[in-house]
């Protein structure tokens, strides 16, 4: 990655705010040269875009240039980037079929037949342009209508240098559909150009960016109780109201970018510009986003730029007939664990494709930001496979780091935040690279948040291996608080990863033995269920209050959705039984799922009032392993947790910094949350002006076993 900046001695490269970074973390001083070198590569690329790509604004609107675009005069301009192709042609059902001659076996007779896709593949050749570009212009019909009608099927025919002709979908296709089962499994590209009367018009402004982000991670396809794929319309009309009721202010939509294999959970993307048609059409997705905005919800997209499906006929792989194109050739272009292709972030047209893809979803569908998937794979040559991150800064600044991936992420975040001031970006990174959530101007990656992926791992680890009477509360607190100062984290107890078949949700780890027999309010009391409900609430509340600067929940986990998530596939008889959310369970007043759901809403609504996620990290004043008690303060709220399975404590002394009179604002022991109603919430607690546990004052509270309370000043 050469340019005028990267050729300088890195110490001569001006990084506007690097002093802020180094003052905040002096341990980064030995790596200043490498940080400046990365910034130099970023600057080179940024200036190249300005000089050779006509600036960021035009460079990130490649979808207006490439693909199949209907112009205002109804002419159609088709352009592709295929540097390895010998020739390109456009084919489709807008071209009359060619009769094919066939022989009827057993006779000497001849007959003519037509195939549904037996189009003339040579009649519409593209013209070769410079730099691997191809162009074809189709004038309007004589009546002024476009030469290709709305919903017509089209294909790019690529003549390779081996002189074969291969059918492909345009990398910039905006609408692709699954074929009827009788026609195979290869997705078909269709021109999406509905009349103006059928196009959705956005009516609502985007909500302001929340200081406290409460994220509901969701999947449109499984958001139905029915044994089928859910729709955008179902989600808009039936699921968004649930999310609002629960107190979330953000949704994170998974599996929207088109993927031919449903069971990939959207992580094997085949068509990057096409919103998945299995849930509906583009206008219906726009309606979903607009309605979410009307309800005050920020809408994030799960963005997969870390890799791509290996599909050839309906993916990006070998689009121009070569092993390279959008990807690295050879082993560097293969992800051995995911069996997918890896982008070549140093290629100008690949950058144009990916950065424009980001803008496409911000402009066309009005998304408010992105969760970048697979960031660890992008940052390291190992793709994160077999590479440990033990805390040494050398792990993040040596030759194992993939500069091209680092610089792409810097560029992506720079462009997102330059074009959209209130946009939000989240990194899915397990490595914990310093500077992930610091601005690009400091020489860093520029994300707003990173997922705190160690937290769910810790909860699952102890649920699997440690009885709760032996839980090490200090170790749990360390995991929840072990994050970089001023680099915001998204805390979560479990996400979609823990819900997948082969793993277990927290509810299942706690209660699977009796979830099918004792979740009725009329059933006999069960110690398994009582324990499970109590710990489920405590785990989520401690994570919510202490674990980060944002909180995430995966759809259904708010009420302890039973069973795992398994998409229809060959191995399960193509069943939808586990690829859905059983809303009937939480809606049934006779079942105990409502208790977990009520608690989830109470946590979120209390956070909306007190704002602990948007405040400084909590101050932990007590981690008592014998009592299994944790006490901390955050945003003026005093949190007290008792994880002990049998011990309750009367007049338990807890430190608090600010004096005054406190009252309980939340108690997991309330009956509406499946508790035993042992706590009188009308009691007020006055502070005593004596230092305790490093705080200026203390109060004495009653804290029953497996219970948490939160107190705030009256």
What is the Cβ-side half-sphere exposure of residue 423, based on CA atoms within 13 angstroms?
A: 25
Phi/psi for 458 (5° steps) reads: -65, -45
Could you give the residue ranges of the DSSP H alpha helices within 191-274?
232-234, 240-245
Token pair for 75: 């002419």
**What is the three-class DSSP state of 113?**
strand
**Which of 258, 257, 216, 221 has its CA nearest to residue 240?**
216
**What is the three-class DSSP state of 413?**
helix
Annotated catalytic residue within 347, 428, 494, 566: 428
Could you give the residue ranges of the DSSP H alpha helices within 444-592?
454-465, 473-481, 496-499, 506-511, 527-546, 583-587
Element (H, E) at 176: strand 176-177
Provide the β-strand partners of residue 322.
Answer: none
Report in angstroms the alpha-carbon separations of 283 from 142, 206, 221, 272: 29, 18, 17, 17
Annotated catalytic residue within 25, 153, 314, 373: 373
What is the three-state SS of 5-23? CCCCCHHHCCCCCHHHHHH
Instruction: Assess whether 428 carries a catalytic annotation.
Output: yes
Token pair for 166: 């291969």
Say how far apart CA 119 and CA 298 lie, in whole Å.
45
**What is the three-class DSSP state of 338?**
coil
Say how far apart CA 79 and CA 76 lie, in whole Å.
10
What is the Cβ-side half-sphere exposure of residue 38, based on CA atoms within 13 angstroms?
A: 29
Instruction: Assess whether 373 carries a catalytic annotation.
Output: yes
User: 342 burial class (0-12, 13-18, 19+ CB within 10 angstroms)?
Assistant: buried
**What is the three-class DSSP state of 209?**
coil
Whether the Cβ atoms of residue 94 and residue 136 lie closer than 8 Å to each other: no
Token pair for 348: 């100008």
**Which of 426, 427, 546, 525 has its CA nearest to residue 482?**
546
Say how far apart CA 461 and CA 473 lie, in whole Å.
14
**What is the three-class DSSP state of 653?**
strand
Q: Beta strands of 598-645 (E only): which ranges?
A: 619-624, 629-634, 637-642
What is the Cβ-side half-sphere exposure of residue 664, based on CA atoms within 13 angstroms?
A: 20
CB atoms within 10 A of CB 15: 22
Say how far apart CA 42 and CA 408 lie, in whole Å.
8
Element (H, E) at 292: helix 282-294
Query: Would you give the end-to-end CA distance of the chain in angstroms?
Result: 59
The distance of Cα 578 from the centroid of its chain, to the nearest Å, equals 21
Q: Classify 107 in phi/psi space as left (phi over 0), alpha (psi -120 to 50) or beta.
A: beta
CB atoms within 10 A of CB 50: 12
Q: Is the dihedral of CA 603, 607, 610, 614 positive or negative?
A: positive
- Tabulate helix, strand, coil % of the chain (nearest 5): 30, 25, 45
Residue 502 neighbours by CB under 8 Å, 6+ apart: 564
CA angle 264, 543, 511 (to 5 degrees): 70
Instruction: Report the DSSP pairing between strands 550-554 and 213-219.
Output: parallel
Say how far apart CA 494 and CA 482 lie, in whole Å.
18
Whether the Cβ atoms of residue 606 and residue 663 lie closer than 8 Å to each other: no
Active site residues: 373, 428
């Amino acid at each position: 990655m050469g340019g005028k900046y990267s050729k300088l001695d890195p110490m001569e490269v001006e990084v506007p705010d690097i002093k802020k970074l180094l003052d905040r973390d002096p341990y980064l001083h030995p790596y200043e040269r490498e940080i400046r070198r990365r910034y130099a590569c970023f600057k080179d690329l940024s200036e190249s875009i300005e000089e050779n790509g006509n600036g960021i604004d035009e460079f990130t609107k490649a979808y207006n240039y490439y693909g199949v675009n209907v112009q205002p005069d109804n002419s159609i301009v088709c352009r592709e980037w295929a540097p390895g192709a010998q020739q390109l042609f456009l084919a489709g059902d807008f071209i009359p079929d060619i009769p094919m001659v066939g022989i009827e076996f057993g006779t000497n007779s001849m007959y003519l037949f037509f195939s549904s896709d037996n189009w003339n593949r040579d009649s519409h050749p593209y013209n070769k342009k410079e730099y691997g570009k191809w162009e074809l212009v189709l004038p309007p019909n004589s009546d002024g209508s476009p030469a290709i009608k709305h919903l017509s099927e089209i294909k790019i025919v690529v003549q390779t240098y081996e002189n074969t002709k291969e059918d492909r979908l345009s990398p910039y296709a905006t609408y692709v559909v699954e074929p009827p089962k009788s026609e195979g499994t290869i997705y078909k590209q269709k021109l999406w150009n509905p009349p103006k009367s059928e196009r959705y018009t956005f009516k609502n402004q985007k909500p302001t960016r929340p200081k406290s982000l409460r994220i509901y991670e969701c999947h449109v396809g499984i958001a139905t109780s029915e044994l089928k794929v859910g729709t955008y319309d179902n989600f808009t009309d039936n699921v968004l109201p649930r999310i609002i009721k629960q107190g979330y202010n953000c949704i994170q939509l998974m599996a929207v970018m088109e993927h031919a294999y449903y069971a990939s959970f959207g992580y094997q993307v085949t068509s990057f510009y096409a919103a998945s048609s299995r849930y509906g059409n583009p206008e219906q997705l726009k309606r979903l986003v607009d309605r979410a905005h009307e309800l005050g919800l920020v809408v994030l997209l799960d963005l997969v730029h870390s890799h791509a499906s290996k599909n050839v006929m309906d993916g990006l792989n070998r689009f121009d007939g070569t092993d390279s194109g959008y990807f690295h050739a050879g082993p560097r272009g293969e992800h051995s664990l995911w069996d997918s292709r890896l982008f070549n972030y140093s290629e100008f047209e690949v950058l144009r494709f990916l950065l424009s893809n980001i803008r496409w979803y911000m402009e066309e569908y009005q998304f408010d930001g992105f969760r970048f998937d697979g960031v660890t794979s992008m940052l390291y040559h190992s793709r994160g496979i077999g590479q440990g991150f033990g805390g040494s800064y050398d792990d993040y600044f040596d030759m194992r780091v993939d500069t091209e991936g680092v610089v792409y992420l810097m560029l992506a975040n720079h462009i997102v935040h330059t074009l959209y001031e209130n946009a939000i970006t989240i990194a899915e990174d397990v490595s914990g690279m310093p500077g992930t959530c610091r601005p690009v101007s400091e020489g860093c990656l520029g994300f707003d948040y990173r997922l705190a992926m160690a937290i769910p791992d810790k909860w699952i680890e102890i649920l699997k291996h440690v009885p709760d009477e032996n839980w090490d509360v200090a170790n749990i607190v360390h995991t929840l608080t072990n994050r970089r100062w001023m680099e915001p984290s998204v805390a979560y107890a479990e996400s979609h990863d823990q819900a997948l078949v082969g793993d277990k949700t927290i509810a299942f780890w706690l209660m699977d033995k009796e979830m099918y027999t004792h979740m009725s309010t009329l059933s006999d009391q069960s110690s398994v269920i009582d324990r499970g409900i109590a710990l489920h609430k405590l785990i989520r509340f401690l994570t919510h209050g202490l674990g980060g600067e944002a909180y995430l929940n995966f759809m259904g986990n708010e009420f302890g959705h039973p069973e795992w998530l398994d998409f229809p596939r060959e191995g399960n008889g193509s069943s939808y039984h586990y690829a859905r959310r059983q809303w009937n369970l939480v809606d049934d007043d006779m079942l105990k799922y409502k208790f977990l759901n009520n608690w989830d809403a109470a946590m979120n609504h209390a956070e909306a009032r007190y704002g602990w996620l948007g405040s400084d990290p909590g101050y932990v004043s007590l981690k008592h392993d014998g009592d299994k008690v944790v006490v901390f303060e955050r945003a003026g709220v005093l949190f007290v947790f008792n994880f002990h399975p049998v011990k309750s404590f009367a007049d338990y002394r807890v430190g608090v910094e600010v004096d005054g009179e406190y009252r309980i604002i939340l108690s997991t022991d309330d009956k509406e949350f499946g508790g035993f109603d042992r706590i009188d919430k009308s009691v007020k607690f006055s502070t005593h002006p004596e230092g305790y546990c490093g705080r200026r004052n203390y109060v004495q509270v009653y804290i029953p076993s497996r219970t948490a309370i939160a107190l705030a000043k009256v």
